[in-house]
Amino acid sequence: MWFLGIESSCDETGVAVVHLRPDGTVQLVGAALHSQVTMHHDYGGVVPELASRDHIRRVLPLTEAALSEAGVTLHAIDAVAYTRGPGLAGALLVGAGVASAMAMALGVPALGVHHLEGHLLSPFLSTDPPEFPFVALLVSGGHTQLMRVDGVGRYTLLGETIDDAAGEAFDKSAKLLGLGYPGGPALSRLAQQGDPTAFALPRPLLHSGDLDFSFAGLKTAVLTQVRKLGPQLQARRADLAAATEAAIVDVLAHKAGQAMRATGLARLVVAGGVGANSRLRAQLNARAQREGWRVHYPELALCTDNGAMIALAAAMRWQAGGWPAQGDGGAFDVRPRWSLHAIDPAGAADGGVQPG
Ligand code: KG4
Ligand code: ZN
């Protein structure tokens, strides 16, 4: 079976084609991506209305590019998947509308995928795919969660952030350092020239005993240092970037290790944009070796938002036991707020929908 996947929840338009082979493996055969980062750069963050309009402009050319790379036409597609949520409502509507129209025209199902489930399953497209069960550390711009994953759709929340997400902590600190948007990769690059011990920044909730996170206080601590440094900030920017990155990474790695001990599982999967961070990867790899568990990552290109993870999640869910009826007669909806840990194992995509 051939699945087309469309991602449009935030500031990336991603379209991809995956092939679910008869032996149950999933292969990525075509992918195209457009990032809106330069468009939003001047505003210091994502402007939702601009994002929606750009998704409209990009989605069809990207679909053609993905199909062409896959070497198939639209008529070969057996199901069209799209990101149903969580994300920006207008941006989600573009992908959902286009996918549902395409599916209806082709006479195939339209499948609404949870964005975080896409991230969570993305390491299955890597050369070193994990096996269930595992612990997942989901670290994106909007989410920071530790989940126990027993199979497709079988997710138990172990802990999550009580305020800012890890990616948000990177982005907000980067902004304070004058690094623009999105700041995570820029802060990480600058940090390589700095001394991570140069500033003593807090590691919030490090010893709280539970698996929750809090990053709002860290941002305040960075702001305090920026103010204290005043005109000297420029000379100390790399050190402050390194200290900030170390604080975020220390907490993520410590809590991930704690989750491994608490569950007794042997595998950790890291997914979401912050999973691209090299300090986080180095620290998790070292800890895994020390503590006797394994860590799996998506390919670097699949850490941040993309269409491949949406097509993959649809294919894996399909394989795990079908799909709830949705999109009947071309009708569709989106879920701007939608919690992953409560979705129904059977794939009842309406389970776990949060009000609002
Ligand atoms: O998963 P993602 O692409 O989008 C969301 O679903 O949110 O994650 C984006 C986040 C941003 O906060 C970005 O700054 C962060 O991931 N990020 C990084 C790195 N690459 C992306 N943070 C730290 N180091 C990186 N190398
Ligand atoms: Zn994402």
The band of 273, judged by pLDDT with boundaries at 50, 70 and 90, is very high
Residue ranges of alpha helices (H) inside the chain are: 37-41, 48-70, 89-106, 115-121, 166-176, 183-191, 216-229, 233-263, 278-291, 308-319
What digits encode the pLDDT tens for the residues 236-267?
A: 999 999 999 999 999 999 999 999 999 999 99
Of the candidates 8, 266, 28, the one whose C-alpha atom is nearest the C-alpha of residue 124 is 28
CB 310 within 8 A of CB 59: no
Looking at per-residue confidence, does 41 or 346 come out higher? 41
The reply to whether ligand 1 has any atom less than 6 angstroms from the CB of 144 is no
To test the pocket of ligand 1, the residue of 250, 279, 304 to mutate (highest count of ligand atoms within 8 Å of its CB) is 304
The reply to whether ligand 1 has any atom less than 6 angstroms from the CB of 118 is no
Please report the sign of the dihedral spanned by the C-alpha atoms of residue 90, residue 325, residue 138, residue 60.
negative
The reply to whether ligand 1 has any atom less than 6 angstroms from the CB of 30 is no
- Contacts (Cβ under 8 Å, ≥6 apart) of 277: 170, 184, 188, 245, 249
The reply to whether ligand 1 has any atom less than 6 angstroms from the CB of 116 is no
The band of 344, judged by pLDDT with boundaries at 50, 70 and 90, is low
Q: From the CA of 144, which ligand is nearest?
A: 1
Phi and psi angles of residue 232, each rounded to the nearest 5 degrees, phi first: -80, -5
Q: From the CA of 166, which ligand is nearest?
A: 1
The reply to whether ligand 1 has any atom less than 6 angstroms from the CB of 170 is yes
* DSSP three-state, residue 158: strand
At residue 64, does pLDDT exceed 90?
yes
How much is the pLDDT for 346?
Answer: 54
How much is the pLDDT for 355?
Answer: 29
The band of 44, judged by pLDDT with boundaries at 50, 70 and 90, is confident
- Contacts (Cβ under 8 Å, ≥6 apart) of 126: 296, 297, 298, 299, 302
Query: What residue segments make up the domains of the chain, in order of their start?
Result: 2-121+303-355, 132-297
Q: How far is the CA of 304 from the centre of ligand 1 (A)?
A: 6
CB 182 within 8 A of CB 141: yes
CB 151 within 8 A of CB 204: no
Q: How far is the CA of 305 from the centre of ligand 2 (A)?
A: 5
Of the candidates 193, 187, 301, 336, the one whose C-alpha atom is nearest the C-alpha of residue 249 is 187
Rounded to two decimals, the pTM is: 0.92
List residues, by chain if needed, whose CB lies under 5 Å from ion ligand 2.
140, 305
Q: What is the rounded CA–CA span in Å between residue 169 and residue 222?
A: 10
Q: How far is the CA of 272 from the centre of ligand 2 (A)?
A: 6
Of the candidates 1, 10, 7, the one whose C-alpha atom is nearest the C-alpha of residue 29 is 1
Q: What is the rounded CA–CA span in Å between residue 165 and residue 175?
A: 15
Superfamily of domain 2-121+303-355: ATPase, nucleotide binding domain (3.30.420.40)
Classified by CATH at the fold level, domain 132-297 comes out as: Nucleotidyltransferase; domain 5 (3.30.420)
The reply to whether ligand 1 has any atom less than 6 angstroms from the CB of 305 is yes
User: What is 112-144 written as a DSSP string?
Assistant: EEEHHHHHHHGGGGSSS---SSEEEEEE-SS-E
The band of 333, judged by pLDDT with boundaries at 50, 70 and 90, is confident
Q: What is the rounded CA–CA span in Å between residue 353 and residue 356?
A: 9
What is the token pair recorded at 130? Answer: 């994990």
Q: What is the rounded CA–CA span in Å between residue 354 and residue 343?
A: 11
Same fold, 2-121+303-355 and 132-297: yes
Q: How far is the CA of 165 from the centre of ligand 2 (A)?
A: 12
Q: What is the rounded CA–CA span in Å between residue 168 and residue 170?
A: 5
What digits encode the pLDDT tens for the residues 178-205?
A: 998 889 999 999 999 999 999 999 999 9
Residue nearest to atom 26 of ligand 1 (CA): 277
